[in-house]
Structure 1
Amino acid sequence: MLDSIKQASKNIGRELNRAWENLSDGWRELLSRSNNSLTHFEPGMMDGQLEDEANLNFPRWGLIASEVEETASDIIVRIEIPGVEKQDCTIRVEGSTLIISGEKRFARESAESHYHAMERAYGVFERRIALLRHVDAEKATANAINGVLLIRLPKAATDTVRDIPIN
């Protein structure tokens, strides 16, 4: 009987070690892949007052995930910004840095409602993405579809600075 208890203890220890390794691997991958996508949100306006004044406890950090793809002629950036209206978002190119800034506004069903979970960040944000190539900002385009902003930046030999309207 003592041997079976020892064997069970070894098996439990082995499974706990395996679970810990899987969890550690997941966190390491999340940290390495999310790199700069963890974005700070500053309080914005809600019903004419600052969100902080409305006594809501919003998370101040959120993920704004992106992809940067390079083709022979373009740098293509896809960035997830669900809940951000195009009029509340600006896109700017400074040298070889793409800057997306805006405000994700808070909306609720009723002032009398109560939240049981609050994981989404709201407020003013700025996300900077290194492009690793010079782009022609004058020919850049941006489209927002289903909460994903697609920015197409033709490659260029010189630096430019330009705001890019969202279609």
Structure 2
Amino acid sequence: MLESLKEAGKNIGRELGRAWENLSEGWRELLSRGGEALTHFGRGKDEVAAEGESQLPVLPRWSLLAGEVEETDKEIIVRMEAPGIEKEDWQITIDGNRLYLSGEKRFERVTHDSTYHIMERAYGAFQRSIPLPRDVDIDRAEANYKNGVLTVRLPKVGNSKPRTVSLP
């Protein structure tokens, strides 16, 4: 009986190890794919504690701002999903080979007799820094915000194709 208990313990240990590996692999994959998209929302410039605000839940401070960087022959296109942000609350800055997107998602406080049961949307000021794969012409950059998606088009400069240089 003691031997069968020892064997069962070993089997349980092996299976727990496999389960932990699968779980760890899932988290590693999530972090590698979406780690940059996980964005911290700090206090907005107009966000102050209002009288009677204790009824409001603590606002989430982390959210995903999922994006993509696409490269064509002529331009780099950056798209960022960011619903609920007003067009005038965006600030777009290009510095070297980085695109900085910052803004504020405002929480409209409506006071009425209600209770929040779920609050998963984050509010406040945020900033994302996106590395650009090539040099871009910042003077010809264009941006638009439609249906909750920010699109920034950045024309490439110079010879955008990789080139091999031989040593003499």
TM range (shorter): 0.7 to 0.9
Q: Alpha carbon RMSD of aligned pairs, Å?
A: 2.6
Distance 1:30 1:52, change over 3 A: farther
**Match of residue 112 from structure 1:** 113
Distance 1:155 1:118, change over 3 A: same
- Provide, for residues 32-73 of structure 1, a one-character-per-residue CA deviation record: whole Å limited to 9, x for no partner: 11232222212126xxx6254444411222221211111111
Structure 2 residue 74 is matched with structure 1 residue 77: no
**Match of residue 165 from structure 1:** none
Q: Classify the secondary structure of the residue corresponding to 1:128.
A: strand
* Aligned residue pair count: 154
Output the CA distance in 1 between the equivalents of 2:47 and 2:108.
13
Q: Classify the secondary structure of the residue corresponding to 1:50.
A: coil
**Match of residue 162 from structure 1:** none
Q: Percent identity, aligned pairs only? A: 58
* Structure 1 residue 9 displacement after superposition: 7.3
Distance 1:52 1:67, change over 3 A: farther
The structure carrying a bigger strand percent of its residues is 1
User: Structure 1: which 5+ residue stretches go unaligned?
Assistant: 158-167
Distance 1:111 1:94, change over 3 A: farther
**Match of residue 43 from structure 2:** 43
* Structure 1 residue 140 displacement after superposition: 1.4
Q: Classify the secondary structure of the residue corresponding to 1:87.
A: helix
* Structure 1 residue 148 displacement after superposition: 1.4
Output the CA distance in 1 between the equivalents of 2:108 and 2:16.
42
User: Aligned partner of 2:61: which letter?
Assistant: R
User: Aligned partner of 1:43: which letter?
Assistant: R
Q: TM-score, normalised by structure 1?
A: 0.75
Output the CA distance in 1 between the equivalents of 2:20 and 2:146.
39
**Match of residue 22 from structure 1:** 22
Structure 2 residue 34 is matched with structure 1 residue 31: no
Asked whether the equivalents of residues 43 and 52 of structure 1 are also in contact (C-alpha less than 8 Å), the reply is no
